[in-house]
Amino acid sequence: MEKLMGLLKVKVVRGVNLAKRDARGSDPYVVIRMGNQKVKTSVKKKDVNPEWNEELTLSVSDPTVPIKLAVYDKDTFSKDDRMGDADFNMWDIAEVVMMEPHHLLALAGEAIKTVKPTRTICLAEESHIKFTNGKVCQDVVLRLRNVERGEIELQLQWLNIGGAMI
């Protein structure tokens, strides 16, 4: 069994300009997978700009495992329609977590690391990792792929196992 490094709290904040999959819009929900873990949000009825503000938690044993996000339109009588997907990683946030505590304290409130969009990371814009109120956090906007449009806004927060980071 792999050693648990910590927990990644993923707050699914909202969707922006999601694709319509039904005549009246879409009934979106988000599924996040990391390794064999799977968590999902509630369904938001008839909303292409849904606000979830739901916190989902993933156990992290290997920070190099990519996180896969997919958005679906809930259907009653047929298979749910896919509304796009995105991959992102948590290696950058894990690198910050592994910094010496005195370095984190010295940089509290500032951007410790900036993650830029690439072909393999579905960021819509630069994302900054910060150490605030004793926690390593990152706000992320993901541009959905395999769909005509849409973005998902997330807030990531690292939680250490067994107590405070510092």
User: Residue 33: CB partners within 8 Å, gap ≥ 6?
Assistant: 67, 68, 69, 70
pTM of the model: 0.91
User: How many separate helices (H) and strands (E) can be counted in the chain?
Assistant: 2, 10
How much of the chain, in percent, has pLDDT values that exceed 90?
68
What are the backbone angles phi and psi of residue 52, rounded to the nearest 5°?
-95, -55
**Which pLDDT band holds residue 164 (cuts at 50, 70, 90)?**
very low
Q: Which residues of 8-18 are buried (b: 16+ CB within 10 A; e: fewer)?
A: bbbbbbbbbeb
How far apart CA 138 and CA 94 sit, in angstroms, is 11
**pLDDT for res 165:** 47
